[in-house]
Structure 1
Amino acid sequence: MWDTYAVAPIPYALRSTQYKEVSLLPATREEKEEQIVELAERFRAGQVIVWAEYRGLPTPRLNELRRALRPHEAEFHVVKNTLAELALARAGLPVSADLLKGPTAASVIRGDIAGAARALSEFATANRELVIKGGQAGQRMLSSEEVAALVNLPSREVLLGRVLGQMNAPISGLVTVLAGTLRGLLNVLQAQAKKMEEAAA
């Protein structure tokens, strides 16, 4: 249903062009409900959701981004703002009206946060039409600067090495490693917030 994979056929309602804003308006109420449920499940499964505006980017370029995100277990979805708002509410996640304006796309990161954030950053640098507006990690909303700071998190390989290193250790050691990953995300975000406060002072 979603235009996640470049090799899969994309329904007409999900296609984007260089000149026309995407419309995800379902044909029936049942289809609308189905799309909301599926999108809510994707949002709920993501560690981080990054919101972006893609105005002017044709489908082939968006598919390039999807291919770059796929190895990091991340997806890029063009979404209709009203459906995204309903899906976020269904998933129990906060909704920011400022992020759901204009042609909107959501990058849902389930795996390697740093790798996916880096892929998004590199694509946005090469394609100025893609503008990172912000994001969210669970109940916490992220500014565009905080999203950019996610590239500083440990890579999946580093985290996997830490976990494997604890396989023969007591279970408490493994729990400590996993908890440290979450603390790392919070530390990165807090450091970025402090930096912004100092710059504004």
Structure 2
Amino acid sequence: MNREQKQELVSELHQLFGEVSTVVVAHYSGLTVAEMENLRKQMRAAGASFRVTKNRLTRLALDGTKFDSVGDLLTGPTGIAVSADPVAAAKAMVDFAKTNPKLVILGGNMNGSALNSDGVKALATMPSLDELRARLVGMIQTPGTRIATVLSQPAAGLARVLNAYATKGEAA
């Protein structure tokens, strides 16, 4: 990799760090190529991405971003997971690490807040942004549905009583 390619990679990573909200760092030593490809596939499905980069170049790209604290974790064979959704990268990494103990989560950063490995695992247990939106819409719709049900019950009761009298008159 020549100097221009390195500068291009640093600027590309710097731009990427400006667009995401979560960065998770992990050691991947001992994972096979197939396992790494499986990890990347799971990350893409979750709306995140996983990259293996040179630590020194990644530290340069982190300078001046809200993820400066991640630079201390970049030692040894590390990979970084990034996502725009605050929970997606952490959730995908933790799920993969459950089945592959060779992937060791070191820590991360969410919107400028440094996280240790336990913090990343706690973040992974939180519902995603889409799940929270769905819950909120459900909570907003529920009172309206209940009000409509309560208001329709007297009319439905009256209709049942009238129907009962009509069927009683036909039977007699």
Taking the aligned partners of 1:96 and 1:43, their CA distance within structure 2 comes to 11
Q: How far did residue 122 of structure 1 move?
A: 2.1
Residues 73 and 112, structure 1, Cα contact 8 Å, conserved in 2: no
**Residue of structure 2 aligned with 1:93, choices 54, 67, 72:** 67
Is 1:61 aligned to residue 35 of structure 2? yes
Structure 2, gaps ≥5 residues long: 141-172
Residue matched to 2:77 = 103
Q: Which has the larger radius of gyration?
A: 2
SS at match of 1:108: strand
1:163 CA displacement: 6.5
Percent identity of paired positions between Structure 1 and Structure 2 = 37
* Cα deviation digits, residues 131-184 of structure 1 (max 9, x gap): 0000011221101000000123222332332575799xxxxxxxxxxxxxxxxx
Matches for 1:12-27 after TM superposition, within 5 Å: 27=1
Q: Which residue of 2 aligns with 1:121?
A: 94
Partner Cα separation in structure 2 for residue 166 and residue 86 of structure 1 = 45
Change (3 A) 1:84 1:75: same
Amino acid at match of 1:54: Y
1:135 is matched with 108
Contact 1:41-1:91 at 8 Å conserved across structures: no
Structure 2 residue 13 is the aligned partner of structure 1 residue 39: yes
Measure how far apart 1:120 and its partner are.
1.3
Alignment check: 8 A CA contact 1:51 1:106 kept: yes
What is the TM-score when the length of structure 1 is the normalising length? 0.62
Aligned position for 2:164: none
Structural RMSD (CA): 2.4
- Structure 1 residues 150 and 60 mapped into 2: Cα distance closer, same or farther (>3 Å)? same
Q: Compared with structure 1, are the counterparts of its residues 163 and 38 closer, same or farther at alpha carbon in structure 2 (3 Å cutoff)? A: farther
Q: Number of residue pairs matched?
A: 141
* Equivalence for 1:145: 118
